[in-house]
Chain A
Amino acid sequence: MTDCCHYLPDSIDLGLILLDDDGRIQVWNHWIAERVRLESHQVTGRTLEESLGSNLDPRLALVVREALDFGWSARLSHALHPLPLPLYPPGAPGNERIKQSIDITPMVIDDQRHCLLQVRDVTETVRREALLKHQARQLRNDLQRLSQAQDELQRSEMRFRELTRLAPAGLFEANLRGRLTFLNERGEEILGHLRLHLPDIPWTDLLSGLEKDRITDAWRLAAESGTRFAEDFRYTHPDGRFAWIRAEAGPVRDSEGNLNGFIGTLMDVTEFHERATRNEFRANHDGLTSLLNRDRFERHLRAAVSGAREVSDRLALLFIDLDGFKGINDGHGHPAGDTVLKTVAGRIRRVLRSDDLVARYGGDEFAVLIRGIGDEATLGAIIGKLGQTIALPINLGHRHVRVGCSIGLAIYPEHGSDPTSLLHHADQAMYRAKRGRNPSPAG
């Protein structure tokens, strides 16, 4: 038993100090000796103050006194008394004190009050809890950031929803196969389908015929290369109505940069297309007769000449000038003149083949370009027929009028090898014809 009592204090992983009723050290175990760096024999019989000097926490002295005088136990927690005793890590040269927690309990030995100090090293606990709290703070900050981000996301989602609802354009999102994963109301209107009712097919399958093939190819190309998609196409609504639709889409990539779909817009550009077609026609055609205008005709002529040069073809250029038109215009008014011009234009058109070009060249002057002309007789027959049809009576509503015409002919390459000389030749030939028909030069 004595042996046991002797060895026990030095075997446990706890600092033990036993003080007698005078506060003198009786037991000073190995754990304490190692950390205070004072051996048991150096301190036995002395008080804590004598052994440790000013290194002692005053509260420790107080509670030791209370234990000895009144028999109270006390705890000095690390949080409130971090370093009551000068303890240092054993064997390490460092001067950083061990963090500790001390329990002070009274004991009665041989009828004498004693006081036992049990000293625990809480350095590791302090470190662990500091880490725990650091992590907790970090977690809280992360959570705050996350909830902020979530709020922002919610707001931006709401914004997005409202925007897509109000957007004048169709907005869609599609996966790489072209399946629509999102389509706003306007988009549904443009396509004439509710997204949720669409079967699991690529959106390009909503098209038909050649347009479907063309757009399917274009979409596949964009999906394969991850590039921008922009196409106009003709679309047949489920209700049978035709529309021009412009689809534009950009690739969407995930956080790793992998392509995972497209986001884009749909616009009904039917009106735009129709207007463009009208504008193009207007730019190239005479407003009254819908024949080509002079500018456009000359461009066709240049192209035809260079084309004919390459394949050694022959071209016929006809200038047709109306005779007696001025009289009708002056005598019956401009509306009557307009009717005459429209009627003549239609007649010239009907005499010729559909790929021959007819233009209103000037006021009452028309030009015709015939490609791949046959023999002179055929050409002569055409010219004769032109003269005859133009000369037919024209119904003005209140009366009939007639106009005649003078026709000048120039043949490529015989009468000129370039447009200018051909035009000049035809012009001269027409004037000659007019003079022959009507000796006074008044038109």
Chain B
Amino acid sequence: MRRFTDLEMDALSEAFNLALGEAAATFAAIVREEIELSVPTIELLSRDELIIRLEDTQPGGESGRLCRINQHFEADVGFQTDALLLFPEYGSLEIVRRMLGDETPVEHITELEQDALGEIGNIIINSCMSCLANLLGTSLRGSLPRVQSHSPRDLLNDKPSSDVILVARISMSMSAHNLRGFVLFIMDIPSIENFMAEISRLFQLPTGQEAPSP
């Protein structure tokens, strides 16, 4: 796969900045709290690189488990992607419980809490994707959210290692929590090329194919 130019990466950042801003606003409305969102850092990584990154930074804390909310999207303009929201299991559980006004000391997430987390992730992902769809002037059909908890090593076992992962790292700060999360878009090579073409078109970049990559 070719590497993307700085300009292209900037354009990606810009697009996701907008989309995640929407998502954070939606999330803030759900939890009825002010949410501060960091500017996302965008990277393109392979699956294995991402796993190493996750293991190194330990976003899930000592216990290490991450909660993943996954939706699949298909765009009319020729790309498909898995949109994943990753949160440390502990932090996400805390937020769900707080929203539900429940302080029960159950260590692991229950079925209903998992459902609720699915809905929250669904709202965030949908609002992010709708923003992207609007920017790109396409429609994106989304599947239902799936919620799973895994250690970083097993987190992406179901994704082909050849896929490219567009990683947008954001951190959300709420009054009592500092929840660091990741938004991942996992695409196959044709999808990422098409997606980048759409982004380039949106920001009216010079057509990338002709520009020599640094």
Q: Which A residues are within 8 Å of any B CB, using their own CB?
A: 66, 70-81, 101, 103, 105-106, 122, 125-126, 129, 132-133, 136-137, 139-140
In the complex, which residues of chain A have a beta carbon less than 8 angstroms from the beta carbon of B102? 133
Which of B52-60, B84-92, B134-142 lines the interface with chain A?
Answer: B134-142
Known: A70-B139, A77-B118. A125 touches B126 (CB 8 A): no
Additional A-B contact list (13), CB under 8 Å, known A71-B139, A76-B119, A79-B116: A70-B130, A70-B133, A71-B141, A72-B129, A73-B144, A79-B96, A79-B113, A80-B30, A125-B111, A126-B112, A129-B110, A132-B110, A133-B110
In the complex, which residues of chain A have a beta carbon less than 8 angstroms from the beta carbon of B30? 80
Contact: B119 with A75, CB < 8 Å? yes
In the complex, which residues of chain B have a beta carbon less than 8 angstroms from the beta carbon of A125? 111-112
The yes or no answer to B115 lying at the interface (CB within 8 A) is yes
A-B complex: 3 closest residue pairs judged by Cβ atoms? A79-B116, A71-B141, A77-B115
Contact: A101 with B140, CB < 8 Å? no
Q: Which residue of B lies closest to A101 (CB)?
A: B115
Q: Which residue of A lies closest to B30 (CB)?
A: A80
CB distance from B73 to the nearest CB of A (A): 9
Q: Which residue of B lies closest to A126 (CB)?
A: B112
Q: Which of A73, A74, A77 has the most CB of B within 10 A?
A: A77
Pull 27 A–B residue pairs with CB atoms less than 8 Å apart, ordered by A: A66-B126, A70-B130, A70-B133, A70-B139, A71-B140, A71-B141, A71-B142, A72-B140, A72-B141, A73-B144, A74-B122, A74-B123, A74-B144, A75-B119, A77-B118, A79-B115, A79-B116, A80-B100, A81-B119, A101-B115, A106-B141, A122-B112, A125-B112, A126-B112, A129-B111, A132-B110, A133-B106
* Alpha-carbon distance A132/B120, docked complex (angstroms): 23
* Alpha-carbon distance A77/B119, docked complex (angstroms): 6
Name the one of B105, B113, B141 contacting A137, with C-beta atoms under 8 angstroms: B105
CB distance from B163 to the nearest CB of A (A): 22
Interface of B is mostly: helix
Name the one of A74, A106, A136 contacting B106, with C-beta atoms under 8 angstroms: A136
The yes or no answer to B40 lying at the interface (CB within 8 A) is no
The yes or no answer to B7 lying at the interface (CB within 8 A) is no
In the complex, which residues of chain B have a beta carbon less than 8 angstroms from the beta carbon of A106? 141
* Alpha-carbon distance A140/B104, docked complex (angstroms): 9
Interface of A is mostly: mixed
Residue tally, chain B, CB below 8 Å to A? 31
In the complex, which residues of chain B have a beta carbon less than 8 angstroms from the beta carbon of A79? 96, 99-100, 112-113, 115-116, 119
Known: A79-B96, A132-B110, A133-B106. A103 touches B144 (CB 8 A): yes
Contact: B122 with A75, CB < 8 Å? yes
Known: A79-B96, A105-B144, A133-B106. A73 touches B116 (CB 8 A): no
In the complex, which residues of chain A have a beta carbon less than 8 angstroms from the beta carbon of B129? 72
Q: Which of B118, B130, B142 has the most CB of A within 10 A?
A: B142
The yes or no answer to B162 lying at the interface (CB within 8 A) is no
CB distance from B68 to the nearest CB of A (A): 15
Known: A71-B140, A72-B130, A75-B145. A133 touches B100 (CB 8 A): no
In the complex, which residues of chain A have a beta carbon less than 8 angstroms from the beta carbon of B119? 74-77, 79-81
Q: Mark B26-46, 1 if CB is under 8 A from A, else 0.
A: 000010000000000000000
Q: Which of B130, B140, B141 has the most CB of A within 10 A?
A: B141
Q: Which residue of A lies closest to B100 (CB)?
A: A79
* Alpha-carbon distance A132/B141, docked complex (angstroms): 37
Contact: A75 with B115, CB < 8 Å? yes
Q: Which of A78, A80, A125 has the most CB of B within 10 A?
A: A80
The yes or no answer to B80 lying at the interface (CB within 8 A) is no
Contact: B144 with A136, CB < 8 Å? no
Name the one of A75, A78, A137, A140 contacting B112, with C-beta atoms under 8 angstroms: A78
The yes or no answer to B71 lying at the interface (CB within 8 A) is yes
Contact: A73 with B104, CB < 8 Å? no
In the complex, which residues of chain B have a beta carbon less than 8 angstroms from the beta carbon of A72? 126, 129-130, 140-142
Contact: A75 with B106, CB < 8 Å? no
CB distance from A117 to the nearest CB of B (A): 12
Contact: B116 with A80, CB < 8 Å? yes
Contact: B140 with A74, CB < 8 Å? no
* Alpha-carbon distance A25/B129, docked complex (angstroms): 28
In the complex, which residues of chain A have a beta carbon less than 8 angstroms from the beta carbon of B99? 79-80
Contact: B111 with A75, CB < 8 Å? no
Contact: A73 with B122, CB < 8 Å? yes
